[in-house]
Amino acid sequence: MPRIGLCQLTAAEDPETNLKLIREGVAAAATDGARIVVFPEAAMARFGIPLGPVAQPLDGPWASSVASIAEEHGVVVVAGMFTPSPDGRVRNTLLVTGAGQHFGYDKIHLYDAFGFAESDTVAPGTAPATFQVEGTTFGLATCYDIRFPELFRKLAGDGADIVLVPTSWGAGEGKREQWEVLVRARALDSGCWVLGCGQADPATTSTPVHPKAPTGIGYSTVSDGFGRVHTQLGPGPELVVVDLDPAVSGKARAATGVLANQRL
């Protein structure tokens, strides 16, 4: 039964500062027995700053430092970063590192919504990604990806029982409600556990941020494949460690028939 830590935090603009937050979060989660430690989207550097200057490849110093932290504590770390794109933009990448793994998932669906145009500076990914830890298959999605059920059904079809969704959710009227509905809906769509790990609301720590950038609202949420909320955090920085039974995903799919009865 996987034990997973969700580290809800407010990322700084400086990648080196955020490495300290990651080190602290991994140490605390590992002490509580976590085998996988998840950080939000943009954990390398928050939105609202030029992303090109902070982007680094997966074998660069920032990702290598995260890999060393994961190795030190014997865990797998999932954390949002930015990697260079050949077209001059960056890619919004989830770094997965530890336990012999080191790769990235590039966010497929870009946040060109609610007056924000992520695609101006970020190039889209093209391929879903999964990985395994101790016999359990995990899928990956990032923030705005959660509005697209096809991705979650694809991940379930590829064997995922748990989908990790690092996020830096945009604030605004009704946005918390949308987030909560979407986490539960994607869990129901796919029969997977869905773990949304968000940036905390910067206002809870009086952190000044770009007012138009999606810099987080908190409320990291864990839902099972029946759409039941297992865990939810508040708006501020917080760590939670959860134990999840992958077998619940199979039970949910058998009960709802969402994959077996799919026709389109």
Catalytic residues: 41, 107, 143
Residues 66 and 154: their CA atoms lie apart, in Å, by 28
Region class of 190: left (phi > 0), else alpha (psi between -120 and 50), else beta? alpha
- Please list the residues that pair with 132 across neighbouring strands: 137
- Burial bucket for residue 100 (CB in 10 Å: 0-12, 13-18, 19+): exposed
CB 132 within 8 A of CB 125: no
3-state secondary structure (DSSP) of residue 181: helix
CB 250 within 8 A of CB 260: no
DSSP designation for 200? P
Residues 40 and 107: their CA atoms lie apart, in Å, by 13
- Between strands 101-106 and 90-98, the pairing is antiparallel
Extract the tokens encoding 41: 């989207």
What is the helix, strand, coil percentage profile of the chain, to 5?
30, 30, 40
Picking from 192, 183, 186, 128, the residue whose alpha carbon sits closest to that of residue 160 is: 192
